[in-house]
Amino acid sequence: MKTFLFVIILLFLPLQLNSTAEVNFQQKKFYYENLVTNWPKIFPDSNRNAAGPRFFKYLIDQNLTYQEFIEYNKLYCPVSGSLINPGQKPVFINVKNLKNNEQTCGNIYQCCLPCSCDLMNYVKVKTINHKFKDGKKNIDLLLIKNPCQKKDFPEEVNRDYFCKNNDLNKDEVFIVDNQLVVGLLHSANKCKAKDLSAISNNEMTGKFCAFKNQIPVDKLNMGMGDIFIKMAR
């Protein structure tokens, strides 16, 4: 009798696990579709060029739980402002800490290959404590310097999304220490030697990024990341 029950339990378990996984993916699809529905609110003129900060501002202004906020922030690229399909695998990178320039490692979600290079090269990270629907939690913000004073602010980007005269516009974007928040660094921790070794030995974050980061800015021809670099450098 015990053997019979054990077999029944084993047969039933995979169904439970698959069902749970399906619910989780369906929830992510709902988040994605919600962003698509609210696209006109986030981008009134439909220009999302380098406008990851607009997604972040929209999301942090919503009454979300911590986990909802994390999942939503996996669905856009901080560099390009492109939406990212739910379930996409993250890329492991290292970014300097704003406070002390120590290396922080974590995951980012990107739309295309060069974005991880741009984040590692031009972005810093800072941890803040933020109040969500279910309580206060730490989040790790990806930051760039205020781009609003640039005389060569990229013409492909809607400047009004970010700036009010030469200052960042707090009504349009989220600001920390006069830095522009472009997105989240997920599962962030202080880098260990093995983390930095894994990143530098990775075909993409190591070899490819080393090649890309040597190209002069005026010679770049790699799409949306070039616009982001003009803002962030």
DSSP secondary structure string, 25-53?
Answer: HHHHHHHHHHHHHTHHHH-TTS--TT-HH
Amino acid 29: pLDDT: 94
Weakly modelled stretches of the chain, pLDDT under 50: 1-21, 23
Our measurement of the distance from residue 70's CA atom to the centroid of its chain's CA atoms, rounded to an integer in Å, reads 10
Amino acid 218: pLDDT: 64
Amino acid 9: pLDDT: 33
Our measurement of the distance from residue 204's CA atom to the centroid of its chain's CA atoms, rounded to an integer in Å, reads 17
**CA neighbor of 189 nearest in space, from 67, 92, 91:** 92
What CA–CA distance (Å, rounded) separates 90 from 34? 21
Amino acid 222: pLDDT: 52
Q: How many CA atoms within 13 Å lie on the side-chain side of 120? A: 27
